[in-house]
Structure 1
Amino acid sequence: MKLNKILILIVIIALAFSVTALMAGNKDKIGGAGAQQLLIPVGSRGIAMGGAYNAMVSGNEAIFWNPAGLSASEATAEATFSNLRWIADTQVNYFAISSKMGRLGSIGISAKIYDFGEFEQTTEFETEGTGIMVSPTNMVLGLTFSRQMTDRIFFGINAKIISESFMRMSASGFALDIGVQYISSAGIRMGLTLNNFGGMMQYTGEDLQRTVDLPFTEAGTQSIDLRLEAQQFELPSTFEIGIAYDYRINDQNTITLATNYKNQNYGLDEVMGGVEYGFNDMFFVRGGYGQSPEGGADDNIFGFTAGAGIKYSLGGSSKILVDYAYRDTKWFESNQWVTVSVMF
């Protein structure tokens, strides 16, 4: 028990010091980080609550929102698939499986794949298209460990490999998510996360190489091979703190209120709030909203969120969860999430 308390203290201190580094986020730095697919949310329940999910998430969706919640799941094992209809006819698919490993804790693996579809290649010389169809590939693979440290405190860490490729160029990187959750006896839950903490990424590949003829040289002069060096870019690190409160009206009806604050190193800070109504721990209706208090009308491109879900018993301890979420989006078509989880 003493060792557990020491580990918890170390994590909390590390997260607190991380806030100082992340507070550099401001409007002037927007767009300065790469690997933006890391910020695209997965799972329907959290987004239906406006993103105010840090403190209350559990199960496979916790791998993205707060890895500490993986061990807070009521299931011994879980498999999840989620599909997001993103902007400009793109999609994001998410797969995750997890299992409790006794006193060791919980282990999970996940994959988030960004599907851009195909489009025609253009070049500086053929701006109308070359006739060649191309499709970028963005993928995030994760390995998650989570453990219940005390009767009320959960800890989790998610290690991620980030892979991006486009034609004959690619970039890869590594990042960590670290999270803590606290559940009180009074129905109050708190969460802290440091997300996307990692090193620089850089594109390399054959498409950065060129063979050129120097100007003003004599005929027959040998061409020169040039290699362009792409600029390195940072990851979009964030720090989040959240709180949720469960109010049980009676044995069948429950309301959960939640709020989150997110600090971003390459973006504006965000404040999110959400509410969930549950009936008989089977039917759920959710709503939420998030915005940046510092941003103007053009900075807050996402509007209200809403969603619903059902949890159905398959017999014994097995259950299936089906959730849907909708988010209003300025300028683009609205986002929609569908998530299916099977718990054992």
Structure 2
Amino acid sequence: MLSAFALASFPVDLLDKTSGLAVLSCGGAGAARTDGVGAAYWNPAGLAFSGKSGFDLTYYQKLGFVNHSSLDAVLLLGGDILPLGFNLVQEGINSIPRTSSAGGLPVEEGSFADEYRFINFSTAFRLDHGLYGGLNYKIISHTIDKYRAEGFAVDLGLIQIMSQNLTLGATFRNLFSALDWTTGLQEYLARKLTAGVAYHLPLADFENYLYADLDIYSEEERGWALGAESWLLKNVFCLRGGYNSGQEFTLGTGLRYNDFHCDLALLFNPDKVEIDNSFLFGLGFDFQLPRNSAARAVSDASFQPEISVFRKRIIVSDLQPEKIQEIAVLDPADNVLSLPVRKTIEIPAPATGNYTLFFQLKNEKIIKQTVLVE
């Protein structure tokens, strides 16, 4: 029989780094990512950069015996003003042998299951020029045999856009938490700070991204993760890879076709661990929520991104990536720079003078905006 002491010895934050195949296939480095419907799982501030509503469904068997299923979703409400994130993540181990001792020998007496689940609600908001914050509220349940715990946890996230190609992120996980067991035992999830960096490395033919995370646990433990992503066909097909402090080597691919996307990941366990490697598979779909007629009329009749200048940077926000084909800027020296299509972009503006922004929409219209940097 499980005792209260045994329950207290179980790790409680079992669902850390288990959802979001794009991040998992990059070694688990995701604190500074600003794309994907699983953004809230890794850093809730990433919801602020969502261009569309959407959802991902994922199922896999980890290590050969842990069954994982998850639903990650983003909803953009109020004309994209309020991004909401949702995650339902659960893992379980079935048919764990229950044993007792008889005459000094172990005797098997049936089996039991260990199941862990959380439901997460998230939102994000802009705090300052280039600085975004986010909040997770997780409802948690954990069942071991006939013992059950229920509780909550709160995460906070920050993302700072440093330049057009450099992003910093930080996630404060389990700042507040509590799990109450039916035995009367109360547990608190271990706090963790994850600091991350993402760097966009554009080449002539490929869009490349580099990611790095550092994990600092409340128990004075440390961890790290490195990852890379290369879009060999822009917005259609990419390759991913990574490595982390758990000596886990990861590979993956992403495939996009219109609003459908498919992600695959393969996690290789260390050679010294005799456990099966994990193959992960996920499917997703992006969509646009219907708006009321007034909001739709304004959206269709005008294109009005918010543009501001702050500390030698041009900040363009409230864009609608689903309507934009391409963005470029002409600087005062007549140099042309192509920009990624995102909901928020920041453009370095070291020289004074006029910067001309060109937005080519998918309906073939080209809109020009001139910004004076003094």
TM over 0.5: yes
- Check 1:163–1:335 CA distance in 2 against 1; reply closer, same or farther (3 A cut): same
- Check 1:260–1:336 CA distance in 2 against 1; reply closer, same or farther (3 A cut): same
| Structure 2 counterpart of 1:81, one-letter code | L
- Residue 15 of structure 1 is matched in structure 2 by none
Is residue 2:92 matched to residue 1:115? Answer: yes
What pairs up with 1:155-174 in 2 under 5 angstroms? 155-174=133-152
Is residue 2:267 matched to residue 1:327? Answer: yes
For structure 2, the 5+ residue unaligned runs are: 1-7, 288-374
Q: Distance in 1 between matches of 2:187 and 2:284?
A: 35
Q: Distance in 2 between matches of 1:341 and 1:149?
A: 30
Contact 2:136 2:155 in 1 (8 A): yes
Deviation at 1:308, TM superposition (A): 0.9
Contact 2:15 2:116 in 1 (8 A): no
Q: Distance in 1 between matches of 2:64 and 2:10?
A: 21
| RMSD (Å) for aligned C-alpha atoms | 2.3
Identify the structure with bigger relative contact order (alpha carbons < 8 Å, sequence gap 6+).
1
Task: Map Cα deviations across residues 196-224 of structure 1 (whole Å, 9 max, x no partner).
Answer: 2223434225xxxxxxxxxxxxxxxxxxx
- Residue 248 of structure 2 is matched in structure 1 by 303
- Percent identical among aligned pairs is 21
- Check 1:70–1:283 CA distance in 2 against 1; reply closer, same or farther (3 A cut): same
Deviation at 1:35, TM superposition (A): 1.2
Contact 1:33 1:233 in 2 (8 A): no
- Residue 226 of structure 2 is matched in structure 1 by 273
| SS at 1:63 equivalent | helix
For structure 1, the 5+ residue unaligned runs are: 1-30, 206-228, 292-299, 314-318
Which of 84, 92, 96 is the aligned partner of 2:60?
84
Q: Distance in 2 between matches of 1:36 and 1:87?
A: 17
The number of residue pairs the alignment matches comes to 273
Deviation at 1:277, TM superposition (A): 0.6
Is residue 2:66 matched to residue 1:101? Answer: no
What pairs up with 1:1-344 in 2 under 5 angstroms? 34-75=11-52, 77-102=53-78, 104-124=81-101, 127-131=106-110, 133-149=111-127, 152-205=130-183, 230=185, 232-250=186-204, 252-266=205-219, 268-278=221-231, 279-291=233-245, 300=246, 302-313=247-258, 319-330=259-270, 331=273, 332-344=275-287
Q: Distance in 2 between matches of 1:199 and 1:56?
A: 25
| Structure 2 counterpart of 1:256, one-letter code | Y
Looking at secondary structure, tell me which structure has more strand per residue: 2
Q: Distance in 2 between matches of 1:50 and 1:237?
A: 21
Contact 1:41 1:64 in 2 (8 A): no
Contact 2:64 2:277 in 1 (8 A): no
Task: Map Cα deviations across residues 251-274 of structure 1 (whole Å, 9 max, x no partner).
Answer: x41111121111112362112211
Deviation at 1:73, TM superposition (A): 1.6
Looking at secondary structure, tell me which structure has more helix per residue: 1
- Residue 315 of structure 2 is matched in structure 1 by none
Contact 2:123 2:135 in 1 (8 A): yes
| Structure 2 counterpart of 1:342, one-letter code | F
